[in-house]
Amino acid sequence: MKTYLTKQFYGDYGDRESVKESSGIAADSARDWPLWEVFVRSKMGLDHKHVGSLHAADARMAIENARDVYTRRQEGISIWVVESRHIHASNPDDAASFYDPADDKVYRHPTFYELPDELKAM
Amino acid sequence: MEKNGTIQLETIFQDRIDQEIRIEPKDWMPDKYRQTLIRQISQHAHSEIVGMLPEGNWITRAPSLKRKATLIAKVQDEAGHGLYLYSAAETLGISRAEMINQLHSGKAKYSSIFNYPTLTWADIGAIGWLVDGAAIMNQVPLCRTSYGPYARAMVRICKEESFHQRQGFEILLTLSRGTDAQKAMCQDAINRWWWPSVMMFGPSDEASPHTAQSMRWKIKRFTNDELRQKFVDICAEQVKILEMHLPDPDLKWNEKRGHYDFGPINWDEFWQVIGGNGPCNKERLAARIKAHEDGAWVREAASAFAAKQQQKQKAAVA
């Protein structure tokens, strides 16, 4: 079976570079703390939404920094952080073939079905 | 073969740009596009960070608790803006540490406006009105720039900048309704900040060789001179509310153009300040480097703490 998911790194590095494996807890001037992606729920009943990324030594620090950076004006009531290296993503180069199974299935949309106007509320 | 492949990719890339489809980090992009963005976004980030210095200067001397709280909030916003932009630049393949090194070594530039001193409290008002006003003029079109992460960062920044500009104008408005000394202070700050703010839009279009390519790639949406004219037109009206004047004897409404005409810009001063000879270049960079070095123990402590917690967790699992 063909595997569609390749490991991609959203934030830290460009598409050609590979990311260093160790999450490391680097602090010297040449290396950065690990990168974290931040997701914020703006109010109860809504999904957590990706808002950006930041560097932090650990998860707790990432959450505290995310609060200071992304919720200074009451933009959130809940924060998720996940280390960027743990995010897997589909590959944009494969987008055409990856999503094409949905291209010819218009019958999945309600507007595909022609029904008389007398039919209300459907 | 290889070359044809690249040309084809460039055609596809330009097509996407022309169709207003945003470019995302893992999409193919010309090296030059990547480099231009890294330079522009990191410079922008550095400007936010260095921009904290002239204003931070007045936090302890703000005239009331309200002004102090506002100024702290504003300076904190600038730090946030720097972070959004550094993050956006990092998606292009440059590390945060590398960008910081470039700033500290003088290899990377930041907006030359921050090399001017903040001499009086009125300067904080003038910075909000004029400097942030010019920044907003530049930044609003960047919310539609072709690189997705940059555009998203700009949306966030623009939302916050409008408070900055309003608080600045309010400071000047209060001074302009005050004693004669306060009025004089207000006019003096406007006199000193006007021309550097006009220069913030960068060299004129004829002297800006990269503009055409940046416009084609839709990194930029308007030329430097277009934005500068818009800024002058708006400020020339707003200054009337302050009952002050802009320090330009040639400033005059031109009915035919539908714009204000304005006097010649001292480009020599502009290039001098960019070249490192502004009033505060050395001081700003030294303060920035000192802040970074003084913070080293905090970074080390955070790392040591994280390592210890990780080890504790491992021990607990075992």
- A24 in contact with B at a CB cutoff of 8 Å? no
Quickly state the pLDDT bin for B177 (edges 50, 70, 90): very high
Question: Phi, psi at residue B23, to the nearest 5°?
Answer: -95, 135
Q: Quickly count: other Cβ atoms within 10 Å of residue B140's Cβ.
A: 18
- B222 in contact with A at a CB cutoff of 8 Å? no
Q: Is the pLDDT of residue B167 over 50?
A: yes
CA–CA separation, B123 vs B103, rounded Å?
25
pLDDT digits (tens, 9 = 90+) for B249-301: 999 999 999 999 999 999 999 999 998 899 999 999 999 999 999 999 999 99
Residue B45 · residue B79 · CB < 8 Å: no
* CB spacing of B306 vs A25 below 8 angstroms: yes
> Could you tell me which residue, A107 or B3, shows the higher pLDDT?
A107
Q: Is the pLDDT of residue A15 over 80?
A: no
Closest partner residue to A15 among B26, B76, B305, by Cβ? B26
B chain contacts of residue A11, beta-carbon cutoff 8 Å: 25, 87, 90-91
**B246: DSSP letter:** -
CA–CA separation, B135 vs B82, rounded Å?
14
pLDDT digits (tens, 9 = 90+) for B25-72: 989 999 999 999 999 999 999 999 999 999 998 999 999 999 999 999
- B305 in contact with A at a CB cutoff of 8 Å? yes
Query: Which amino acid, one-letter code, is at A89?
Result: A
Question: Phi, psi at residue A43, to the nearest 5°?
Answer: -155, 165
Can you point out the beta strands (E) in A1-122? 5-6, 35-41, 48-55, 78-83, 89-90
Q: Tell me which of B26, B160, B292 to substitute to probe the interface with A (most A C-beta atoms closer than 10 Å).
A: B26
Q: Is the pLDDT of residue A14 over 80?
A: no
Q: Which of A5-19, A106-120, B131-145 has the highest mean pLDDT?
A: B131-145
Q: Is the pLDDT of residue A23 over 80?
A: no
Q: Quickly count: other Cβ atoms within 10 Å of residue A65's Cβ.
A: 20
- A92 in contact with B at a CB cutoff of 8 Å? yes
In total, chain B counts a number of residues equal to 318
Structure confidence at residue B232 (pLDDT): 98
Query: In chain B, what percentage of residues exceed pLDDT 90?
Result: 92
